[in-house]
Structure 1
Amino acid sequence: MTEFVPMSSQGVFKKLILTMLVVSIFLIGWHHMGGANRDLRVTVPDWRFEKVDDSLQGGKTEVSIVEWKEGASITCRIVNAAPYPFCEIAIFPQQIGESLDLTKYHSVSLDIDYHGPLPEGRVRVYLRNSNPAYTDESDPVSYKFNAIEYAPGINQGPLTIPLKSFHVLSWWIADYNIDLDHAGVDLSNIVHIEVATGSHVEEGEYTLTLREMTFHGYWITEAELFKLVMGMWILAAICYLGYEYILVRYQYQVASRREERLRKNNITLSLQAKKFAALAERDTLTGVKNRAAVQEWVAQAVKQSQRYQRPFSVVFMDIDHFKEVNDTHGHYVGDDILRAFSHLVVEWLDINDVFVRWGGEEFIIFCPDRNIQSVTDLAETIRYQVESAHWSHDAKITISAGVAQLEDETPTELIQRADEALYKAKHAGRNRVTISSPYR
């Protein structure tokens, strides 16, 4: 089964940011171009139109009504018999008990023709809201009067009025002793709509025609869209952090497996042997390449790197005070340490790195396609692992290393620079890595 390898967090972050930008721009553009707009037109059969007059107040106004799909027209003769004579078109949802939530609508288009005895006659439009806090179903006047009054004229066409222009009639607030919490405009539960004669009327003939009533709103408001986009960004951030957590766990597991590979170094040595079997023989003690085996390969590798301008670097290592190890513990222990040291180093090499016993306790790692920073990190890692490892007979083992990157020079000059850097590391106190200056 193929092992799952998480993508780098940087790659995931770039893709996530790009995706979120595309989605955010699309949603904002969609809203700006009207994709979220919605209209509600008051028409038959969803709504029914009725005539209403002042007869319940003792008035004598007479009204007749003509209906069609988009609206209705009433003709009334107003008589000054009631305290407030009027006539109106009342509009109800077709289903009894149904109501309308206009909180997501921002305006209403009204096409009303109004003719009466007074010039510039005015009409009132009421959006009647029901709320248990103030509404008594047995009292029609207890439904809140969200109102607006204006002069529509004749044949003036539709007029779009913001719903925020509506206000609650002050006499209704006073008569029903409405508290401040319920004194403002409320469009959340509109049970019927009224188009009525205005505040000042005289006796005479009136014609009131409602040609169109359309509410304009949004499926999702700009504020709601902003919250949605912000929520998406927050969710994306949470997902990214979750991925980071998974990636850290994966890296921890990789590090654990790396420790396990220390016990399987013979497999790595076997793979190295297969890769370079045609190049040379191995050192009989440590099992790694010997000096003679890689000389021709190094020359070819250096030429290839210079021709294609690819980096090529070396790590020249020496076991510190190795003679004292042999003198103190004997050559058999020294040989065991050389073998164990070689096995340890192999565990930290890439597939293209070539590990060579150069002579005695000196070793070189040839690193195609690695720059100076990469091999310095490798040398520091090996130095730390050697210092931290448990060695035979509790011997204390450290190494010094010199690193160099190929310039315009021969393989011999490159190795010599790394050897000079190793010499500097020795004289600087050992157990350290020194970087060679560029060849001059």
Structure 2
Amino acid sequence: MLQKVTKIWMAMLILVSCVLLVWNEFGMNRELRIDAHSKLRLWSYDDRESGGMSVASVAKEGDEYVLRCEFSRSYRWPFCGFNLGPGPDPLTEGYDLSGYQTLELDLVASPKANAVRIFLRNYNPDYADPRNFRTLKVNELHFDPNKEVMPFVTELDKFQVAIWWVNEFSIPPALVERELTNVVNFGFGFSQNADEKLHELRFKSITFRGKWISRSSLQSIIIGTWIFSALVYLFVSFISTQRAIDAVKAEKEELEEINSALELERRELETLATRDSLTGVYNRFGLRGHLHSQSALVKQRKSDLSVIFIDLDNYKDINDDHGHAIGDQVLKSFAGLVEANTRTQDVFCRWGGDEFLLMCDNTALAEAVAIAEKLRTVISDYQWPPGVKVTCSFGVAEMDPDESIGSFIRRADVSLYKAKEAGRNKVVADLEEKRDSSIKLG
């Protein structure tokens, strides 16, 4: 009788599991649409707040929000745009977009507007002041509207936290990851479109799409149901087969196999949490422990520590000219190339997008510069896919025992910026003795 019931229950579980997985693949869809008819507060912004003279205006015209920008070259990085917010200041409650995977943006920009930015600003009391709009976490994405098919569709995991925001508010490493759990502001605008003085952007809608239950969550529910069912089966079998010792031992072995499988899954999940899914190298979370332990030795004057920021020159052009598949392959090959030409003690991490960081413990500045020069040559000489040329810019800094991790990282980032400003495919080291210890990222 027990075997018959078990077979029926197993058949039902298999059927329900398959139905749920298929439904999740082709259904369970949800979407959030924001357009000119949404009850959101609308206001424009421009670089006058930063000392520039660009002028922006925004107004509702029919079913569109129309942004008009008159750029001025009086500011080095001219910008303008408009914001949509769910309510009056202070803003603390917004939209939870963490369950959405993609967005679809329908807009029309001026023909020569080659840089449109999307901002999703998130409020979290751990870092944001509801009375200060600039403290909201800036998740941003840049794209060229004239090189994309409209409506523009992209994945939300391509948004990155703005480095200037991290530096300006001394955000610790634990809080620098992308966060879309409480988005209180949507921003759209132009940046550095200096080829033309006048630009216009006609915003129609932005639609977020996702699943009511993510695939990973559904899989966890199904696995949990199967495990629960297995445990129930083991319990009932134990009660009904007390006189069959061999059967009880077999059930126990089955339970041990399940526990071993769960332990293996747990280890795999731990690896996923600290590794970049595309390249397999550490992510920022994986780097954090290494960085804190080595910086502690520096502060105790027991070791030297240097970092090398690496940025792939003109990586966006590779994606645009050859497609994202080639772009992803370039990142994978690049990561493998760096790991093959560095030391066992070095820790390599994907900092974000096409920017990577190599942590070199027990390494002074001069030796770190030599490592960077070696990598620069190896990468430049490597045989990349046909038609693809890859070079990198490097920013190098050595940690001072009296400075914070944040200041240390920022100096390397500034050196990287100088390398790119100097024409790319260069190594620039930070040689300043005076270091700002007021900024802390860790």
Question: TM-score, structure 2 length as denominator?
Answer: 0.50
Larger radius of gyration: 1
